[in-house]
A and B are shown apart, each in its own frame.
Chain A
């Protein structure tokens, strides 16, 4: 092991109280960043979850639609126009909208209705853990997510409720389909969804376009747009980007999460910088001795950088352990904190960068060191 590393490590561990303070700074900062970024990631995923699972090649929507939850309506005629375009295999209507769910107890709670034709490539519920799509053909049948049962005031399968004074019976349960607005999604066949949301029978919110195998997507898109100025035709990725952009940045929610993460990084940097600076100040005699015996400035910087990196690695390990527990504890909540390998690597890199940046103040201090001071101390 290089002696420069040994010196850095021993100096770091020698000042135990200061080392603990450094670790607390890093851990606090990284947990804050983990939570903020985990929420951001979770939020970003939940915002586009319907789009990502629809399986459409193109989405037809009213002009100016900002996100999946935008309740503007298309005329049914658009569907027939779409079906007349070469290369379009199917155009399936989707109806969405908010409604009131009346529990058996009489209390109500808002729900978000998602209605489509499940048998012809519509937006069907996924991750079914009880019941089936066939069960949703029964009059009044709906599918809800198991994590919202308590919120909906029902026990499980076969439970009954009312939506817009019409019968609703839970005939299928999904897992992990959660809404970032925390309003439960309720899946229903198209016509029933229209009834639940008060949507006229000749209207739909979206048309999910499925292309024929040999069709050229861009060509079909231009044809779909050719005769209509009041619609937009987006690829799923474009619609996802638009939804994410609206919810994360248009509403300020994403910016708030980012600001929280930035605050965490700033707090961590200041704490680590302060402790590294005071540690360097305490060891200034040793750094002067190193300079006196002929070490280069680079060698001394290496000692400080190693200290910063060691602090980063140990602090990150502790923070990621705590972060893992937080992720586990929030997994089944309305807004889970998501952690991915990519985010973990990014957080590690951020910790390292934060600690190395923190070392700058200490390095600036030793750059000015006068080796002759060893004669006076």
Chain B
């Protein structure tokens, strides 16, 4: 484990306005350090995705401080936030969000194109990233020609291709079967081993607990439990038991 790559301190976030206003986050603090995969778990509406959006510079907190790669993000304008995202943050979404008219390689190259980097370098880096996720043979395939698992692997390649230090994954296995979900988590866990990277995964899925170095459990806008496991969870942890217990109930 190395220096913190992303830090959120005492984050409060209100969503909506007037009578419909809700407090999604109630003073949350979370630090993401290099070389670890953090799993953020909790029931729907607990504020996981809101926290992910704030750390990902897509949403501004109502109160609190956020730093990504040493830079405070709370006062950034939309363009500065976008620059921080393209330089330091990679996203993996539940529904992949690939561009259907671009090939797998082009989808990954897009990360470089938005940075204005040369297409020759972009192609090399895109190939490397796709090789990392085991898709060297699918460079020219369009998303519709790929399985769900393959599409998610392209999305991961897109997230890591630009050497982002912070990888934020929102329910990356939710649309996949068990086998593909495990494969995706293996890839994310491998990525998280790099000291200069941190991976935050938001999920409800207890099957991915063994891949986490640390599990943070949220409920009703609070972090209610946090468990660090070292090299992943080999046995059912307190948190996992809590999740499974809730499901059974």
Contacts and interface: CB of A to CB of B under 8 A. Distances in A.
A249 interface: no
A297 B79 contact: yes
Interface stretch (A163-171, A190-198, A287-295): A287-295
Interface in A224-248: none
B31 to A, nearest CB: 22
A91 to B, nearest CB: 71
Nearest to A9: B101
Interface string B40-65: 00000000010011001011000000
A372 B89 contact: no
B82 A296 contact: yes
Contacts of A289: 93, 97, 99
Contacts of A294: 82-87, 89, 111, 114-115
A38 B118 CA distance: 45
A17 interface: no
Interface in A1-53: 2-4, 6-7, 10-11, 14
Contacts of A374: 91, 93, 97
Majority secondary structure of chain A interface residues (helix, strand, loop or mixed): helix
Interface in B66-96: 78-79, 82-87, 89-91, 93-95
A372 B58 contact: yes
Nearest to A298: B79
Interface in A295-318: 295-297, 299
A285 to B, nearest CB: 7
Interface size class of B (residues with CB under 8 A): 35 or more
Nearest to A288: B97
Nearest to A370: B58
Nearest to A12: B101
Contacts of B89: 294
A375 B49 contact: yes
A283 to B, nearest CB: 9
B158 A293 contact: yes
Contacts of A293: 85-86, 90-91, 110-111, 114, 158
A7 B99 contact: yes
Contacts of A296: 79, 82-83, 114
Nearest to B93: A374
B238 interface: no
A289 B91 CA distance: 9
A286 B110 CA distance: 12
Contacts of A3: 102, 106, 109-110, 113, 119, 122
B170 interface: yes
Nearest to B52: A375
29 contacts: A2-B119, A3-B102, A3-B106, A3-B122, A4-B113, A7-B99, A7-B101, A7-B102, A7-B110, A289-B93, A289-B97, A290-B110, A292-B58, A292-B91, A293-B85, A293-B86, A293-B91, A293-B110, A294-B86, A294-B87, A294-B89, A295-B82, A296-B82, A297-B82, A299-B114, A370-B58, A372-B53, A372-B58, A375-B53
Interface of B: 49, 52-53, 56, 58-59, 78-79, 82-87, 89-91, 93-95, 97, 99-102, 106, 109-111, 113-115, 119, 122, 158, 170
Given A371-B58, A374-B91, A377-B95, 6 more contacts: A3-B102, A6-B102, A10-B102, A294-B84, A299-B114, A370-B58
